[in-house]
Chain A
């Protein structure tokens, strides 16, 4: 059964990946025994399956994902949350309020208001409805301090680094906790906004220079320099 590219070679939409009895995996489609790529990405040939790992992707909600979102509207029944996806997400009032309540718009906005950041899990999502969120589990809920930055999902591995080396280095240098939402939103939480600023600087540097080597060392150096500069000025 012929395949036409090397493992992890770069392919573009419409490229013929394989012919024969293969299963069309993610970012591919099959027609007349031929499997084609639908996106720009790297082709992966499995035993029976052909997949393309997309290099440019937008977030499609998945049940069980933990995401970071921003409240964009307060309605009678709950909140509308922007989770950086083609669909707005819903957080029902009943998910947050323990007791039964009489829905009054003011009451809800005192819990979460427009502009608030939340960490939530996706509880349901299908073709006919927008994704539904929950904040019931521990660790979920309103983000009271910290800063967020949006990065292209493909850069996330670089932020983590080989075996987590990059992300632990940033944690050590800045004392910040970094949380990577599955929807491409990164939350940086530190002891103060200065530390957070350093961590954000590091992440932005990683995003811009992600294609170069020796990045971990350079980011470490930059952070050390910045901190030195600060203590000097203090």
Chain B
């Protein structure tokens, strides 16, 4: 039991970083930040700093992994050694292996992989600074990198976590809120289809709380989705103008 620890949420429902229960952290998005990758994007969400890059579709290496009827999506989620308080070894941890898998499974439904048989699309997510909710921010920025690469998709994929901290249901947990809170539920969403493509939880929630947390996360996701679209449009409005000349 906490002895003399700070409260995470004060009596007015304001969180440690000044947010209300249903507020997202401040977000900054940049599209097309790397010159070598076919598509790239960068996001800052609170103290999270995450870079995503896409190479492809291109020939599969090694060749025997190629699929005859679709492109092979490969994803690597990785955290830089300096991204966390205590230096993290650069070798992939079990957590990074699991997250690489669930992130890939979150993005696959959106991509028209069947258009590019016998190729691979390689997606890299590098967490440069981590402060909770990196798999969600990683998915949000990866989807933008895929769009920047010109890879056709059914919809953008957006992700946002919600959970429970000190008995209160909250949106977009920071690292401390996740560690000290009672539950964290990351969720990824394709709004057009109403499709939830990533869904995990740790903590403890009653069924009632669970339903409310999902709604909270979907609301946050829809806000983020608008930001995704705006940032893509802002980047490409310049390109559009010159094509029309």
Direct contact of A and B (CB under 8 A): yes
Q: Using Cβ atoms and an 8 Å threshold, which residues of chain B touch A38? A: 112, 152-154
| Chain A residues closer than 8 Å to B91, beta-carbon distance | none
**B223-241 at interface with A (beta carbon < 8 Å):** 228-229, 232-233, 236-241
| Interface SS of chain A | loop
Chain B residues with a Cβ under 8 A of chain A: 38-39, 56-59, 68, 110, 112, 116-119, 147-156, 190-192, 228-229, 232-233, 236-245
Report Cα–Cα, A38/B111, bound state, in Å: 9
Q: Chain B: interface secondary structure?
A: mixed
Q: Is the CB of A87 within 8 A of B192?
A: no
A1-17 CB contacts (< 8 Å) to partner B: 8, 10, 12-16
CA distance A69 to B176 in the complex (A): 54
State the A residues within 8 Å of B (CB): 8, 10, 12-16, 27, 29, 36, 38-40, 42, 53-58, 86-88, 127-128, 154-155, 157-158, 162, 210-213, 215
Interface contact A86-B119, CB-CB below 8 Å: yes
What's the least CB distance linking B144 to chain A, in Å?
A: 10
Known: A38-B112, A158-B245. A14 touches B154 (CB 8 A): yes
Given A36-B192, A56-B150, 12 other A-B residues pairs in contact with their CB atoms under 8 A:
A10-B240, A12-B228, A13-B154, A14-B191, A36-B154, A40-B150, A53-B243, A87-B118, A87-B119, A88-B59, A128-B117, A212-B242
A12 and B232 form a contact (CB under 8 A): yes
Q: Are A10 and B236 in contact (CB under 8 A)?
A: yes
B241 touches A55 (CB 8 A): no
A56 vs B239: C-alpha distance in the bound complex, in angstroms? 9
**B residues less than 8 Å from A128 (CB atoms):** 68, 117
Interface centre among A12, A128, A212 (most CB of B within 10 A): A12
Inter-chain contacts of A14 with B (CB < 8 A)? 153-156, 190-192
Are A86 and B58 in contact, CB atoms less than 8 angstroms apart?
A: yes
